[in-house]
Structure 1
């Protein structure tokens, strides 16, 4: 079934694998591309198809200017949909369990076999987990890009968004209507609770149309639930932001001494760095406001400190994790 994927798509996957350091022979990389494309082409897929993958990769390219390792993001996109999740409990309530674990295990094993460095494999594992939760840490700009690229479908035209909802329903056709609508409602409300919904700097153009589509969908769901079981709308228990989402989003670290740790990810794809090139972490003190005791303009400028000015004056180094 890999033949359903265009050759240029398979070639681009191989190129990205080589860019992130895969050492396996090219023929094996092409076989991996075909095998992975087969996963995206199974007959039970209506929404998460090769077309969906191509659209996601295109969106990554659109907003990749703010990413440090676009090829790692592309490979993450390929593997995050290796297995179709049809379990409602996982799909709508806790997506980080079944689908994430299975896709992560598959990506981890295959990429390790293909000779990708263990640090990069671990990074891709992490990105797949963020994709299944639809949320990235505030301090992780690359994760924000790949998650926003996945959620960009929510900003489709109203006509295309209707088709999106229809295809999603077909993929979950084993669920009865009440179960599906209840679960989908919880997810839509969670997405609407994110402020902003899109976290990457270049993803904010999708914010308004996505929210409009989600609001319309929520209204339609509520109308259907009123007909099926009005009691479902009596309580919003379980709706809102998942604790796992909020913990993942809080990516900045604070030490016990009140120091804010701001990290910039940049993974090495080649072993060209010196052996003694140790990881560096930049610690920026959280400064307390200084009371102004001078009336002169120059004295005021000298005696006023802020976290903003401290950040602007420091050239943050890259860290390797």
Structure 2
């Protein structure tokens, strides 16, 4: 019962945040009704194949955008928040085109919902950036979204362990050896980046912890492979 109640509370909270965002993003216009669009997005984020890319992840990214936004001058924060809503709206763990399909969904839905062509284009551009999490220097919106999306790497050891376990559950159809090899490649790529985070705030507060977490996971995967 408690779990069901918590789910409903999260759903209602996110739906209210979506409605307020959409009204702001379309410069205060009241039509069309924002709630059906929010319900559609939340239904997508609640699909059964998701273990990590869930409404909890969406909430986490939205909260990190809010945390970073005051330190990200020049970003269109409404577009970044819209991109957070859409960045994993289409998600199948066995597909490679999720970000592109999510961006196309934004390009289809947002003009119908009353968002301008320019802000729709910016939202879709930001969604596509989450393929690589590698925005160009000076791309304030891209840096803000990518840092918020990667903030999970800087959680406590317990939070990071839950994140890693959820990722493994999403890829339960992949055999252990293949998963360990693929996941290790991803982690090495992350550790090979000059910086995991681009905004000064995230670099100061999250970089060291994130590298420690990623390095620890890589060590564990390597040890399991060597057994």
Given the two structures, how large is their TM-score scaled by the length of structure 1?
0.64
Q: Shift of residue 135 of structure 1?
A: 1.9
Structure 1 Cα separation of the partners of residues 60 and 141 of structure 2 = 18
1:155-208 CA deviation, whole Å, 9 max, x = no partner? 111111111111110011111111111111111011111111110121111000
Match of 2:81 in 1: 74
- The 1:87/1:4 distance shift into structure 2, 3 A limit, reads farther
- The 1:4/1:174 distance shift into structure 2, 3 A limit, reads farther
On the 8 A contact 1:16/1:72 being kept in 2, the answer is: no
1:276-318 CA deviation, whole Å, 9 max, x = no partner? xxxxxxxxxxxxxxxxxxxxxxxxxxxxxxxxxxxxxxxxxxx
Match of 2:164 in 1: 165
CA RMSD of aligned residues (A): 1.9
Match of 1:214 in 2: 214
Match of 2:31 in 1: 25
Match of 1:202 in 2: 201
Q: Shift of residue 78 of structure 1?
A: 0.5
Q: 2:61 matched to 1:56? A: yes
Structure 1 Cα separation of the partners of residues 169 and 217 of structure 2 = 16
Q: Shift of residue 8 of structure 1?
A: 2.8
On the 8 A contact 2:83/2:127 being kept in 1, the answer is: yes
Map 1:41-52 → 2, pairs under 5 A = 41-52=46-57
Unmatched segments (≥5 aa) in structure 1: 91-97, 228-321
Match of 2:123 in 1: 124
Structure 1 Cα separation of the partners of residues 111 and 90 of structure 2 = 19
Map 1:1-321 → 2, pairs under 5 A = 3=8, 5-21=10-26, 25-27=31-33, 29-65=34-70, 66-67=72-73, 68-87=75-94, 90=96, 98-204=97-203, 205-227=205-227
Structure 2 Cα separation of the partners of residues 85 and 122 of structure 1 = 24
Q: Shift of residue 214 of structure 1?
A: 0.6
1:244-303 CA deviation, whole Å, 9 max, x = no partner? xxxxxxxxxxxxxxxxxxxxxxxxxxxxxxxxxxxxxxxxxxxxxxxxxxxxxxxxxxxx
On the 8 A contact 1:156/1:210 being kept in 2, the answer is: yes
Structure 1 Cα separation of the partners of residues 78 and 117 of structure 2 = 16
Given the two structures, how large is their TM-score scaled by the length of structure 2?
0.90
1:81-119 CA deviation, whole Å, 9 max, x = no partner? 11223127x3xxxxxxx1121101111101121121111
Higher relative contact order, structure no. (Cα contacts within 8 Å, ≥ 6 residues apart): 2
Structure 2 Cα separation of the partners of residues 5 and 116 of structure 1 = 25
SS for the counterpart of 1:72 is helix
Structure 1 Cα separation of the partners of residues 98 and 208 of structure 2 = 29
